[in-house]
Structure 1
């Protein structure tokens, strides 16, 4: 197609890597994207409201596992990368603006788009003809066109004519060494044909593969679908775990045998609950949107209920094991929580079920400490502010001996699990002891 004049000029700048990219939100999504774009030859300005992040970046000190400090230093050394908190002065310089801000749930488990909306208003203050604005934050289908678009069009400029809108869901997988921002296929969509071509060209110059879809709503639905798929299947194995445990059957053995089938089966694994920014949150964006169409989302809501109930199930199993094996009430017990991060081998605490476990244990009167080789200190969290500053204890034979039970919430590789052979009781939610051949009579799977 023949692009309209503003789009044609921007396409030329994208193709020659003259287009300056602005990445708003320098967290787990934004910082890896910014460095990837720099490596592809784009000049990039990173934006964040947290001055501490800006200061760290300026010193080439990375706070994201996927971006090493050496990688960050390399990006800075090109002269094409800088970071700032000055939105008002610097956004107008950018030809392409990518929004990578959080989309949490509020207290009523409804979408909280205030970060997207505030960012859109910041962009609107300096929006100019010829800019491309792309949303990467996970949200309900229709957000780009019905929330982001109207805020930007409040300037008097028209999407598709003066400026251009796109959506491309982030697909980061923290801690996965097999994939990076540049190698994960990138779903892309634009609001209109011109925007579609611009978004595809922009990412196509930096990433190994782009996957165009027909509309921004479709692209938004892709990300929601990916995470609902995982949430529902994890809920299924969590429910099976409880049922099979009552039958005296080990769910982990069942899964290992089932996954030998070369077709028709994909393994998912149970755990103490869901963590991370995506799976515990994103499905509820669709359940909320579906109410507009008077349609139930029973599978999604049931999966949410099952997964949300898992921390309480684990604490109940722990209390039962203490009573049966030691004759001790949980209210008088000392518990060592092993692993605070939501996922193996990452320093990421977002929505971690370990926080809920700690809360439930302390509500029951237990004395709780934790060890996590990736989280020396609990940072500020949205829902668990009381734990800020609590520090990891050393995992030593003495520390283990002082506890009535060790609860494995996250199975980091950098933990010497052989030390747990001396523990009075081990509650294993990740099957790590059996997996390492350390199973013993003191180990209870939960």
Structure 2
């Protein structure tokens, strides 16, 4: 990590003329923003920027997304069709697959995936290819920002050298920053504009530009001293959640053996007004952040020959939960119905990784279906938000499988219903009546005051 660079919070003396020009363009809202990657992070960000008066060009490699956006159809719940059409019709938002148009953007925001490889190592290929695309049209006076979650040092050690392969230099010719996304799909209390934004830059000029630009599009910014610090902030937030979820998952397994309901324990414990924060167990971790981000830090820690035991143990516990749930399912089928899992049909409720959203990234439901079928059981799913299983990197065999209907005739044909995601649109009282056995990993029935001898918590 290059520690010789000026820290982003140092007092400003004078800025390069190109930075001064961009600051003025931002202040007058004449700067054009380019957002690369129009997914769960990029599209809401692009529309937020446009809503605040800036012209925005969205870039994506998927032509189907561009066709939908051009037709005024949003594929992201956080961006209603009406909001998309308003900004498009006003001329503030347009989208394209033509990356040569990056040269016309003053601020370029990179919002591409950062998955893990099969060996739990960072897959930086999306970031690298995107940085190379930006480098092809890079010109003086542009601000380039990485928003993708990654390990500390990525922006300065990986992205900056790619952008500096030509004659331009960060801090004098172009400007480089990092601002981690903090999206929470399905959270109706917060949106892109109302979530405080961590901002950092490679040197004082980049820091000043980051604060000016994001300060113009979100309610609050939180400047930090370096890009690496900003990268560490995002990892810290998600590692905190991953470790605490692992702790409560481990206690769930122990309390099950003791005959104690972990949900009752957590609900009682959270009445303490200090010193305790509730976390809840589940069938495994899902989403693009919590199952993945901690391993970016464990990978980086090897460079410093330092262990990350808490993080790695948390990952092991959380990764083991789908197998634990399927074990509880098999046990309940045997004890209550006298039937082996290998001869049973199971309906998994919820394919999305969290309630009330269509997002299936890293969803434990996919692993649950795979494990049930590995044990020769038959598994189907119902999800009001996911009509069929799309192509995924790890579960190709499940591609195209449709969501089944949720009615008495269908549900009663299964030996068990497994609640993996507690969507509000599901009629849980009906499920309790229709199914001979219910495995509840989300406490969905008790929270709704539904009791029954056929309901087993797992």
Question: Is 1:85 aligned with 2:94?
Answer: no
| More divergent stretch after superposition (372-381 vs 170-179) | 372-381
What CA deviation, in whole Å up to 9, does each residue of 1:232-279 have, x standing for no partner?
000000000000111110000000000001110000000000000000
TM superposition score normalised by structure 2: 0.97
Specify which of 25, 37, 56 is matched with residue 49 of structure 2: 37
1:18 aligns with 2:35: no
Bigger Cα displacement from structure 2, 288-297 vs 420-429: 420-429
Quote the residue 1:151 is aligned against: 162
Q: Give the C-alpha shift of residue 424 in structure 1.
A: 0.6
Residue aligning to 1:307 = 318
Query: In structure 2, which of residues 298, 303, 306 is the aligned counterpart of residue 295 of structure 1?
Result: 306
Query: Which range is displaced more, 236-245 or 381-390?
Result: 381-390
2:240 corresponds to 1:266 = no
1:360 to 368, 371, 395: 371
CA distance in 1, matches of 2:41, 2:349: 27
Give me the whole-angstrom Cα distance separating, in 1, the residues matched to 2:109 and 2:380.
40
**Aligned counterpart, 2:240:** 229
Mapping for residues 181-330 of structure 1, pairs under 5 Å: 181-330=192-341
Please give the alpha-carbon distance, in whole angstroms, between the structure 2 residues aligned to 1:52 and 1:350.
Answer: 19
Q: Tell me the distance in 1 between the aligned counterparts of 2:231 and 2:299.
A: 14
Greater alpha carbon shift after TM alignment, 47-56 vs 370-379: 370-379
Provide the rounded CA distance (Å) in 1 between the counterparts of 2:279 and 2:380.
29
1:273-296 CA-to-partner distances (Å, cap 9, x unmatched) read 000000000000000000000000
SS of aligned partner of 2:193:
coil
- Give the match for residue 381 of structure 1: 392
Detail structure 1 runs of 4+ shifted over 3 Å in the superposition.
none
Q: Which residue of 2 aligns with 1:28?
A: 40
CA distance in 2, matches of 1:129, 1:369: 55
Q: Distance in 1 between matches of 2:54 and 2:188?
A: 25
Q: In structure 1, how many angstroms separate the alpha carbons of the residues matched to 2:397 and 2:61?
A: 24
Q: 1:346 aligns with which of 357, 374, 392?
A: 357
Structure 1 unmatched runs, 5+: none
CA offsets 1:36-76 (integer angstroms, 9 cap, x no match) = 00001100000000000000000010000100111111110
Counterpart of 2:85 in structure 1 is 73
Q: How does 1:353-432 map to 2 (within 5 A)?
A: 353-422=364-433, 423-432=435-444
Query: Aligned-pair distance for 1:421?
Result: 2.1
**How far apart, CA to CA, are the structure 1 residues paired with 2:292 and 2:79?**
25
Task: Find the aligned partners of 2:439 and 2:451 in 1 and give their Cα distance.
Answer: 11
Once the 2 structures are TM-superposed, how far is the Cα of residue 219 of structure 1 from its aligned partner?
0.1
1:61 aligns with 2:81: no
In structure 1, C-alpha distance between the alignment counterparts of 2:250 and 2:57, rounded to whole Å: 46
Please tell me the root mean square deviation across aligned C-alpha atoms, in Å: 0.6
Q: Secondary structure at the match of 1:182?
A: helix
Q: What TM-score, normalized by structure 1, do the two folds share?
A: 0.99
Any unmatched runs of 5+ in structure 2? 1-11
1:379: how far off?
Answer: 1.3
Structure 2 counterparts to residues 424-443 of structure 1, below 5 A = 424-443=436-455
In 2, Cα distance between equivalents of 1:67 and 1:206 = 16
Match status 1:51 vs 2:63: yes
